[in-house]
Amino acid sequence: MKIIKLDAIDSTNTYLRQLSMEEKLPDFTIVTAALQTAGKGQMGTKWNAEKGKNLTFSVFKKIFCLENEEAFYMSMATSLAIYNALKHFQVPKLAIKWPNDILSENQKICGILIENVIQNSKMTAAIIGIGLNVNQTVFKVGLNASSLKKSTGVHFDLDEVMFEIAKQLKKYSHLITERSFELLKNEYESLLFRKDKPSTFKMPNGKLFMGFIQGVSEDGKLNILLEDDIMTAFDLKEIKLMY
């Protein structure tokens, strides 16, 4: 496994994508940085993490067997890999918050940003960006964030955690190669935060509504059972789960 360790960079995702265009990278090439100066989060947000205390890294994963509309399986595989790596380190009360946040005790501990590499309209690779709060213990008020140290009381070796995630990522990527989609989806749905519980969602216009998370659709939308037993699929831009 090729690992590139950087002291500081704008974003490991941006760096790895650029590198993949300049040279032929081995599968599972990892770029990690002690500090990101312009870390990217989901939906155009910024990802901030204290220098040297957390894991901010990106993995180059070649993809040959996924159609573009099956891309969400890579997201499920990544969430499951991180979930299981954190379980290995006995992080308490883990859950996957759709689409791919990892929570411990209802607080976000890890964020994932996957950027697909498309060539001739076909997905050829994914840049899997992982931001895991490890030894940082102070977070902005209202962020509802946690870290491995905060939720276990233990100081972790960053490399050890990263290698466990890489190991799990290889295992779950194998399920994608095998096209074991049913298995992936079942495990992912079984770990979904607030599944089958009455939950409140907010729409972009500020309106609130109630529903029960049932699972995800093939293309990664969240299936919610609304009043009057109507099942509706929402994408990330359409709703925010209030918790």
Binding positions for ligand BTN, rule: CB under 6 A:
11-13, 36, 39-42, 45, 47, 56-58, 101, 111-113, 129-131
CB atoms < 10 A from the CB of 98, how many?
A: 25
Rounded to the nearest angstrom, the gap between the alpha carbon of residue 237 and the centroid of all alpha carbons in its chain is 17
Q: Which is closer to ligand BTN, CB of 111 or CB of 153? A: 111
Beta carbon of residue 224, minimum distance to ligand BTN (angstroms, whole number): 21
With tokens 């573009």, the residue in question is 68
Beta carbon of residue 221, minimum distance to ligand BTN (angstroms, whole number): 18
Q: Which is closer to ligand BTN, CB of 40 or CB of 221? A: 40
How many whole angstroms separate alpha carbon 63 and alpha carbon 27?
9
How many whole angstroms separate alpha carbon 67 and alpha carbon 75?
14
Which backbone phi and psi does 96 adopt, to 5 degrees? -105, 120
CB atoms < 10 A from the CB of 230, how many?
A: 9
Which of 44, 50, 17 lies closest to 31 in space, CA to CA? Answer: 17
Beta carbon of residue 113, minimum distance to ligand BTN (angstroms, whole number): 4
How many whole angstroms separate alpha carbon 179 and alpha carbon 183?
9
Indicate the residue whose CB is closest to ligand BTN.
Answer: 111
Q: Which is closer to ligand BTN, CB of 10 or CB of 105? A: 10
Q: Is 225 helix (H, G, I), strand (E, B) or coil?
A: strand
Q: Which is closer to ligand BTN, CB of 37 or CB of 186? A: 37
Beta carbon of residue 32, minimum distance to ligand BTN (angstroms, whole number): 8
Beta carbon of residue 36, minimum distance to ligand BTN (angstroms, whole number): 6
Q: Would you give the end-to-end CA distance of the chain in angstroms?
A: 39
Q: Which is closer to ligand BTN, CB of 2 or CB of 179? A: 2
